[in-house]
Chain A
Amino acid sequence: MSSTASVPLFQKFKLPNGVEYEQPLGLFINGEFVTGKEGKAFEVVNPSTGNVVGKVHEATAADVDIAVDAAETAFYDGPWSKMSSADRGHLLLKLADLFEENLTILASIEAFDNGKAIQLAKGDIGACIGCLRYYGGWADKIHGKVIETNSGSFNFTKQEPIGVCGQIIPWNFPLLMWAWKIGPAIACGNTVVLKTAEQTPLGGLFAAKLCKEAGFPPGVINILSGFGRTAGAAIASHMKIHKVAFTGSTLVGRQIMKAAAESNLKKVTLELGGKSPNIVFEDADIDRAVEWINFGIYYNAGQCCCAGSRVYVQESIYDKVIEAFRKRAQANVVGNPFDEATFQGAQVSEAQYNRIMSYVELGKKEGAKVEVGGERHGNEGYFIKPTVFSNVTEDMRIMQEEIFGPVCAIAKFKDLDDAISKGNSTTYGLASAVHTGSLSTAMEVANRLRAGTVWVNSYNTLHWALPFGGYGESGIGRELGKEALRNYTQVKTVSINLS
């Protein structure tokens, strides 16, 4: 981290695909882009090259305090506190429209800052638009109940906003995670202090600019670039933040929950890691299943909490599948994110690259066989070849621990009970999939897998209307769908005595 001596609040950026725009670099607090209280800044790296491309201002605990105050004032006084639910929703709809108008810029920033393929980045922005518009539509449809007890009382419940919500998002889907958090929190009438990941601060700041353009009153949405152990920790333990929503690693998730408990028992929701099983039965459409296996692990260069990183194939079709999968994995176009043909871009950082490669080495040491991949792609940037391990046992660390890269393990199963037993042998429980042509197999597997999402004959097909979240150590609570509204409201019961 270095000083802000030469870091402006805005800077013209020209991206590798020729897109030129003004990138905000400051902290977005109370409706303005500002420098950090302690004058700190940190570097932004393009993972496709490994080069530093600029700096952004860094938020420390002092800035979190300022942002929280702004959010608190916005919640209790000022226009947001008096705004009708429909008007709140309308602002989110406008924000969705602005995302749509700025789709190319947003997708380009994403590809630049995160290293993901531009075609995937465009898909992400489309999903952001859908998510924001979806929650814009929920804002004025949040109803309580009227509940009868006895004739002497009149009772009703209200779903009230919580107040200032702290939100900490990861780097794997910077803008999508931003939208998943902002959408429901704002729809429910809260104000937010959101910290982006230090690896990918750019998109969130541009989106902050769009919030201002949409007309959100100052202080309603505050976006801070910064580090987990400073700004993130400050959010998790802040006495005036009454809710924290975190997406990231299980390790950090535990720290967040601890800090929440030790400070003011703020409400906590966590979207953590996974080691999700992708199960192929012999009656599956094999060609399609192989496509989904491929997409399930290599999408976003394996940097998905719900990645299908453990592939289980019924023994009768194992040889056929693995042969097809080897070919398919190697056919993925890896490389320059700004090339429209690219499917798999770079890993987000050198640290992540190293971590993944160390798991690859570990796998080899543990006795697993590298079917394909297992090494760097190219000479520049953090690219890894799509990797498949076979000859794995359930207790191997590469079968138990989340690698978060384009590395999967493939194994056999005998029958349905065996598949379920293997699928469930994890402390995680985020997602899963079953590929089969049989209705009863699909239903039984879906019922018996301990996972927050079960995909049948697909993988990674998330949608803003469908709740998403984990069993076990994959997290607490659900995002997306109507379910997400629970995270950002609290129920008040009013009981009027009429006798």
Chain B
Amino acid sequence: MIVRHRILRLGTLPSSRYFSSFESTVKLPTGIAYRQPTGLFISNEFGASNDGKQLTTYNPRSGKPIANVFVAGSPDVDYAVQTAESALRSWRTTSGTDRGILLYRLCRLIEEHKTLLGSIEAFDTGKPLDTVVADDIQDCINVTRYYAGWADKIHGYSIQPFAEKFAYTLHEPFGVCALIVPWNYPLMLALWKLAPAIAAGNTVVLKPSELTPLSSLYLGNLITEAGFPPGVVNILSGDGNTGAVLASHPRINKISFTGSATTGKKIMHAAASNLIPVVLELGGKSAAIIFEDADLEQAVKWCYSGIMSNSGQICSATSRILIQESIYKKFVEMFKAYTIHRMSADPLDHGPQISDVQLEKVMQYVRSGIEEGAHLVYGGKEIIGPGYFMQPTIFADVRDHMKIAQEEVFGPVVVMDKFTTQSDAIQRANSSTYGLASAIFTKSLTLAVDTSQKLEVGMVWVNSSQDSDFRVPFGGFKMSGFGQELGEYAVKNYLRPKAVHLNLGVSL
């Protein structure tokens, strides 16, 4: 019997009066103080972990601690899954329209709390505040609203193979879905999973990264205020062990994971023991291909954003640029000049790495690049001072065999090389073990369409990079994982068809 000490909270208190003893007051860099939930969110209540274990989350801009949150252990995961499972009983009878209404309310609440959520996220991830509010949180609003609209538009099929058989398919939710999200877009990726899962009628156990738990825990307040029945959404802060316990739990019905390929494999392995279906959104080493007829100025800007945004901590980053030889030198110079221009305006504008561990990993790759003989065009150094900053780094003449050409660096490090023909570029881009995304820069219609068709990737951007859209599917091939997020495709991830045959006249 797990003893839980929880304070009952009414679900309808306005945000300024959320009260629970599992909160601490956090003062944001903007000067505003707010009450940050620190407990595990189960059944619309925050509570301590069973063993009281906690972890600390840090501000990557200063290296200083922000708050302690509880770490969910086995008994907590167990309790959350049980709760999510019991909630299914009545959640199953909730109409799609009503699920949609709850999601529309959640969307409105996120919008009302846009600045606060953005501030929490910026504080916990180190991202620039303006970008987080305008991009990440806006995306949260858009995604939640989009999936609210799908909730009552889930259609099965009716199939009449012959007169005596009438068949139909019911597209049913899986049940309890485990959603495990990383630290690079904490709240946004949480909603990319939560919104379609809920729209499809599932209940969820969401586990944010140990590096960035705050925004997801705060979301618990909004879940309750929106009026979701207790147990439909559960949020467990925790560490790698929490994720492992969750992924191997026998009573979950589906896992959706975003993170590294290494952890992805572990998740899939854990899921195999109970044959739980899995969606994996993993890493990438996405190539940007610059053809000689490209608008070079635009290509440089998009490619800069394609690797330096979020300090290179994007799964779909176009971190590897292949440039047609006739424009190679020019492109490298223009990219360098643009980088210098950005740095002169704000040397920290790409933001910090999320942690000291991550920073060291990236610097290791920088060192290996130098060792293996790549040409360091710009950067390559840590930025001395508080926080986990390093310089945007440009390597040129990076040959395919080099570590920095093959492995995901996940930092503001771009590698460049030249190519000869279209098929050369395609072959080299496809030689990656990953297959998440690609960007093509060209003015030619045929080149764009033809190259897109030949690249072994889940997403191709033509004349842009990283401008994903919540209405368009997002996902990869090969070691980048499987299963699409976003668009209509995401809803399908959270549904499984049941075929019903009505015998209308066949007698034995």
Contact = CB atoms under 8 A, between A and B. Distances in A.
Nearest to A497: B446
A140 B150 CA distance: 10
A482 B153 CA distance: 8
B368 to A, nearest CB: 41
Contact of A496 (B148, B153, B166, B449): B449
A465 interface: yes
A439 B502 contact: yes
Interface stretch (A129-137, A303-311, A340-348): A129-137
A490 B166 CA distance: 32
Interface in B140-159: 142, 145-146, 148-153, 155
Contacts of A138: 149, 153
Given A130-B97, A137-B100, A154-B449, A89 B502 contact: no
Contacts of A496: 445, 449
Interface in A135-163: 136-141, 143, 154
Most buried by B among A137, A143, A482: A137
Contact of A141 (B104, B150, B445, B446): B150
B356 interface: no
B146 to A, nearest CB: 7
Interface residues of A, number: 25
Contacts of A140: 146, 149, 471
Contact of A440 (B97, B155, B504): B504
Nearest to A130: B97
Interface in B419-465: 445-446, 449-450, 453
A239 interface: no
Given A141-B488, A443-B166, A482-B155, A498 B450 contact: yes
Interface string B393-405: 0000000000000
A172 B445 CA distance: 54
Given A86-B471, A482-B155, A496-B445, A133 B150 contact: no
Contacts, number: 57
Contacts of B504: 440, 443-444
A419 B113 CA distance: 60
B145 A86 contact: yes
Interface residues of B, number: 25
B502 A137 contact: no
A134 B146 contact: no
Contact of A90 (B145, B150, B453): B145
Contacts of A86: 142, 145-146, 471
Contacts of B150: 137, 141
Nearest to B97: A130
A93 interface: yes
A137 B450 CA distance: 34
Contacts of B148: 137
A134 B449 contact: no
Contacts of A133: 97, 100-101, 104
Contacts of A439: 502
Contacts of A482: 153, 155
B488 to A, nearest CB: 6
A179 to B, nearest CB: 15
B153 A137 contact: yes
A443 B449 contact: no
Interface in A152-187: 154
A444 B503 CA distance: 12
A498 B446 contact: yes
A136 B149 contact: yes
Nearest to B163: A447
A134 B226 CA distance: 19
A90 B108 CA distance: 12
A137 B166 contact: no
Contacts of B502: 439, 443
A126 to B, nearest CB: 11
Contacts of B471: 85-86, 140-141
Interface in B75-115: 97, 100-101, 104
- Among all A-B residue pairs, the 5 with the closest Cβ atoms: A137-B149, A154-B449, A140-B471, A443-B504, A498-B446
8 contacts: A137-B152, A439-B502, A440-B504, A444-B504, A465-B152, A482-B155, A496-B445, A498-B450
